[in-house]
Amino acid sequence: MTPRVVFPNKFLPYLLVAPQLAITLIFFYWPAGQALYQSMLKEDPFGLRSKFVWFDNFKRVLSDPSYLNSIKVTIVFSVATAAVAMCVALLLAVMADKVVRGKGFYRTLMIWPYAVAPAIAGMLFLFLFNPSIGSLAVLLRRAGIPWDPVLNGNHAMILLVIAAAWKQISYNFLFFVAGLQAIPKTLIEAAAIDGAGETKRFWTIVFPLLAPTTFFLLVINTTYAFFDTFGIVHAVTGGGPGKSTETLVYKVYNDGFVNLILGSSAAQSVILMVIVIALTAIQFRYVEKKVHYG
């Protein structure tokens, strides 16, 4: 540990952190507190009065089949999005690592999609896969696949996963490229001399050594799929058809702002908040420390 700097002034340090504290308090703790408070209130059918009901909203939410369905949808969506985004990015990064000429150019091209806003990305795929006008949908139908994301929940989910993963691929790609570059070349050479072919080298040397990067991205991608995909869901499926693509975040919006079931929506927000805190804790605890060789 490096020795700490000790300020002789008693008040200056507090003064210096005051703006940050104020911002955190006003924009995070206050709304969070409000949500917590709201989650324990129940409004009458006309929205005129509300009463304090302790954890009733949580009990109701957690035993609501549509909420449980939403959990399932979110897990399927997150796992699929993280898996697709990471696998494709890893594949592209491995190929980019082999490119000799124009490496920088190729990489720059790969990074662009990250600059596209989620809702725009969603619209893009909505058009591409639109059953009646989408060019990719036409191709699918020509190939004999009865593509219909508007009525078929599975198709809607696939479309959503593609749109969400597409945006994340660039980000993962960057990290995988850096991770690959950090693997000493002599290790690969030693493995080649040790009789390992290219595929074998990848699975026995490269992939295990990428573990820290992979784990980090797994956390990041899961967090992304959980919380940052509202725009995409909203643009692509709006949670439908039925409730087949209604993720937890989208359900908060639907119940709170569309259906105005404020207490339930607030309870859901609080549950989401707990999940975020848990994921962040995992990230802090393990990403930096545990999966690390040296």
Partner 1 sequence: MATVDLKDVEKVYGGAVKAVKGVTIAIPDKALCVLVGPSGCGKSTLLRMIAGLETISSGTVSIDGKVVNEIGPTERDIAMVFQNYALYPHMKVYDNMAYGLRNRGMPKDEIDRRVKDVAATLELAHLLDRRPRELSGGQRQRVAMGRAIVRNPKVFLFDEPLSNLDAKLRGQMRVEIKNLQRSLGVTSVYVTHDQLEAMTLADILVVMNAGLVEQMGAPLDIYEKPASTFVASFIGAPPMNLLPIVASGNGATLADGTDIGMAAPANAVTLGFRPEDVDVVMNADRPEGAVALPARVEAVEPVGAESFLYCAAAGNRIVVRVSGRATAKPDDDLRIVAKSEKLHWFDQAGKRV
Summarize as ranges the residues that interact with partner 1 (CB under 8 A): 184, 186-187, 189-197, 200, 204-205, 208-209, 211, 293-294
Cα separation of 1 and 156, whole Å? Answer: 52
41, β-bridge pairs: 52
Contact in structure between 234 and 122 (CB atoms under 8 Å): yes
Beta-carbon-side half-sphere exposure of residue 4 (alpha carbons within 13 Å): 3
In terms of CB distance, is 1 or 100 closer to partner 1?
Answer: 100
The DSSP output letter for 114 is G
Tell me how far, at minimum, the Cβ of 209 lies from partner 1, in Å: 6
Cα separation of 193 and 154, whole Å? Answer: 47
In terms of CB distance, is 189 or 288 closer to partner 1?
Answer: 189
Tell me how far, at minimum, the Cβ of 13 lies from partner 1, in Å: 39
In terms of CB distance, is 8 or 195 closer to partner 1?
Answer: 195
Phi and psi torsions of 215, nearest 5° = -65, -45
Q: Which two tokens stand for residue 54?
A: 């302790």
Distance of CA 152 to the CA centre of its chain: 24
Tell me how far, at minimum, the Cβ of 21 lies from partner 1, in Å: 41
Where would I find the beta strands (DSSP E) of 245-288? none
| Residue position matching structure tokens 């490269």 | 206
Tell me how far, at minimum, the Cβ of 195 lies from partner 1, in Å: 4
Tell me how far, at minimum, the Cβ of 211 lies from partner 1, in Å: 8
In terms of CB distance, is 89 or 191 closer to partner 1?
Answer: 191
In terms of CB distance, is 87 or 187 closer to partner 1?
Answer: 187
In terms of CB distance, is 124 or 196 closer to partner 1?
Answer: 196
Closest CA to 150 of 132, 165, 175: 132
Contact in structure between 192 and 201 (CB atoms under 8 Å): yes
Tell me how far, at minimum, the Cβ of 102 lies from partner 1, in Å: 15
Tell me how far, at minimum, the Cβ of 193 lies from partner 1, in Å: 5
**Residue-wise burial string across 254-266, b where 16 or more C-beta atoms lie within 10 A, e elsewhere:** bbbeeeebbbbbb
In terms of CB distance, is 188 or 217 closer to partner 1?
Answer: 188
In terms of CB distance, is 164 or 205 closer to partner 1?
Answer: 205
Provide the sign of the torsion angle of the four alpha carbons 40, 43, 44, 50, taken in this order: positive
What contacts 31, CB < 8 A, 6 or more positions away? none
Tell me how far, at minimum, the Cβ of 182 lies from partner 1, in Å: 12
Residue 32 three-state SS: helix
Phi and psi torsions of 33, nearest 5° = -65, -45
